[in-house]
Chain A
């Protein structure tokens, strides 16, 4: 079992819900990013770091934009791993870090095994949005060799049989895509989203985290009872984008209310025990 699984299981047992922010590596700039990451850690249980890719076809306009900005600044996977391995950053890594990367940048790492290098940099898990379970066996094995978690996604369109298979094979948590579509904030979630979350809850005991389209405390309050954690990406990046002079403040202003909404959704027992 990897660190993500350990953390998620511990939270689950304590009746607490996980906040999983997503940030694009090197955004808004390579210099600011390590400090920004530290700020994100303060509110997070697990952090996803996005490896920018030229063709992010599962992503909406915000992550397309942040990826492009990061690429223009020369952000590469080797840079990300070096940055994470830096002693100061490493010391501030208070929660498990998961890399979110399209498959191709991982495939092109030529000097040595990419999972081994990621592990040495302190990465606990990997999410690959264009890797369905049918193509995943070889990457699962590579992750397992490094005691890392390979996290799979399940969508509302996924059949029952495949959902069970994916839940079985996903390590750390199961990433539930809230709605058919690409990443990016939504005003509201349809009834279908909640039916989907309940269907998944009935199917597996693995920790479930829901992502895509979540931006507001009210949404978190409605979704949290159905799952073990929520993932917040585009809205966080948009907030950072819109506050170029105060990115840390933007992180705080967005994540603090979400953190509170989640803690209120945790079981009373968990709150009392704090």
Chain B
């Protein structure tokens, strides 16, 4: 099976493209030129991998979850431990790549958006490491529910700007970051944190995150001498999942599952399951699946996990859904919280609420597997940021 996406115009089948204000078009074209030349440059790639090793702490372990495997009684479960990356999530892989690119372009100022705060913290850390000015836009609701991350970013020297418009979450933070970028485009790089947005972002962020799947492939060959049977990862914008999936897309024997946030119901506004319940449209620079009303207004979303709480999704995921290469499913808030508790108790690992969605799906998947099967789950981040929120939610479920 051959897989080569996107085309030279940034299209994954009918998805992707560059739907942006004219003011930033040249910056996108420039970014694409710099990215292409950097990625062909052996020295740039060496520098990228050097910082992934030294600053991020790669390679991250592929951990055999022995007690979880026993408890579920089926396939052998491995966890790709992105939670052990510096700053606590996979987000930093992409930040290292884009900051090195920013320096190569001669820009000294970075803007970023953040939902859960993980991308914001990672951006602030890498910006501090390389001495760049860093502004992070964050919805006011997210600032409240992820307060420790706000202080982390400030400690790392970033300016955190609260966004009070609309849903006051990730979608509005992206709008605000784009407006800043449109205004300061000559001096500023927009360090987008997921495989969303206009070309070349989906392709570029994927490239920087593919290190996840490449390591899994090598680690599993060493441990088990073969490819996995299943890959499972959560999908918000879709960067950790694309990073895990991409090196396996052409391997027909590997079944791939993306898990979306089912929230508390299937009605518009009750979940953030864009691929499962959405329709195609254009938001934030790309043609992709969206959660919207019939007049094309973007819907509000809900998820217990701030990192999945977004009404769009990367265009490559839309393509993978339409071609059927990846299966997308949903997991509710409640199921995610149960998996959050379960992994903590069984393995001594507190996952972030985002990958808790991927873990929750194992309860449905494992009964259909045999003990010889191998499942790899992307454990994209750690749960420290979610402790307060998880405690509140769990108390509600246990007592209500």
Q: Which of A150-158, A199-207, A233-241, A243-251 contacts B (4 or more CB under 8 A)?
A: A150-158
* Bound: A154/B22 CA distance, A: 6
* Bound: A57/B17 CA distance, A: 17
* CB contact between A54 and one of B22, B26, B27, B298 (< 8 Å): that residue: B298
- The interface bits of chain A over 120-137 (1 if a CB of B lies within 8 angstroms of the residue's CB, else 0) are 000000000111101100
Interface size class of B (residues with CB under 8 A): 35 or more
Q: Tell me if B39 counts as interface (CB < 8 A to partner A).
A: no
Q: Tell me if A105 counts as interface (CB < 8 A to partner B).
A: yes
- Closest CB of chain A to B3's CB: distance in Å? 24
- Closest CB of chain A to B254's CB: distance in Å? 34
With a 10 A CB-CB cut-off, give which of A77, A129, A130 has the most chain B CB atoms. Answer: A130
- Closest CB of chain B to A74's CB: distance in Å? 9
Residues of A within 8 A of B322 (CB): none
Q: Tell me if A108 counts as interface (CB < 8 A to partner B).
A: yes
* Bound: A180/B188 CA distance, A: 12
Residues of B within 8 A of A131 (CB): 19
Q: Is B18 a contact partner of A157 (Cβ separation < 8 A)?
A: no
Q: Tell me if A271 counts as interface (CB < 8 A to partner B).
A: no
Interface size class of A (residues with CB under 8 A): 35 or more
Interface of A is mostly: loop
Please give me the residue from chain A that is nearest to B21 by CB atom: A58
Q: Is A108 a contact partner of B292 (Cβ separation < 8 A)?
A: yes
Q: Is B294 a contact partner of A180 (Cβ separation < 8 A)?
A: no
Q: Is B297 a contact partner of A71 (Cβ separation < 8 A)?
A: yes
Q: Is A130 a contact partner of B178 (Cβ separation < 8 A)?
A: no
* Bound: A58/B165 CA distance, A: 15
Residues of A within 8 A of B183 (CB): 180-182
Residues of B within 8 A of A103 (CB): 19, 282
* Bound: A205/B267 CA distance, A: 52
Residues of B within 8 A of A64 (CB): 165
Q: Tell me if B397 counts as interface (CB < 8 A to partner A).
A: no
Q: Is B179 a contact partner of A57 (Cβ separation < 8 A)?
A: yes
Q: Tell me if A29 counts as interface (CB < 8 A to partner B).
A: no
Using CB atoms and an 8 Å cutoff, list the residues of chain B in contact with chain A. Answer: 9, 17-27, 165-166, 171, 175, 178-179, 182-186, 281-285, 290, 292, 294-298
Closest 7 CB pairs of A and B: A108-B296, A105-B296, A155-B23, A181-B183, A104-B296, A58-B21, A76-B295
